Amino acid sequence: RRLGCALIDTLPHEHRQSATHFLSWTWSYKLSMVRSALENWLGARDMRAENVFLFMCFFVNNQFRILLDSEVLGTHDLENVFETNLRRIGQCVALLDTWDQPVYLTRVWTIFEQFVVSKVGIPVS
């Protein structure tokens, strides 16, 4: 048996659904800001939270295995894994903390995410 799991793995299968949106964000965000932004995003689109299932790396990726595994799905293959997941999900939500000097635009990975979103033609909101 291997050590580590993703947080989603702790939920019973009946509480899991296929992702409807990929959430692009940074780890430095406060939980209160993420929650407020997502509530505003849902409200602005007249969407119900129970019908939206976000692919949020913090919950879905097994961070332990990504950093320590030397298998195909280790860090050297993140680009392909990311693009495959993005294509499967089909929609992206970019979560900016502020309009004035957002942390989001200082992170190489989030800029890369938006590059791939644009390259594959995925709608982003």
**pTM of this structure:** 0.81
- In sequence order, what DSSP letters do the residues of 31-99 get, joined into one string? HHHHHHHHHHHHHHTT--GGG--EE-HHHHS-HHHHHH--STTSGGGHHHHHHHHHHHH--EEE--S-S
Which of residues 71 and 89 earns the better pLDDT score? Answer: 89
Which of residues 54 and 76 earns the better pLDDT score? Answer: 54
Q: Quote the pLDDT of residue 61.
A: 66
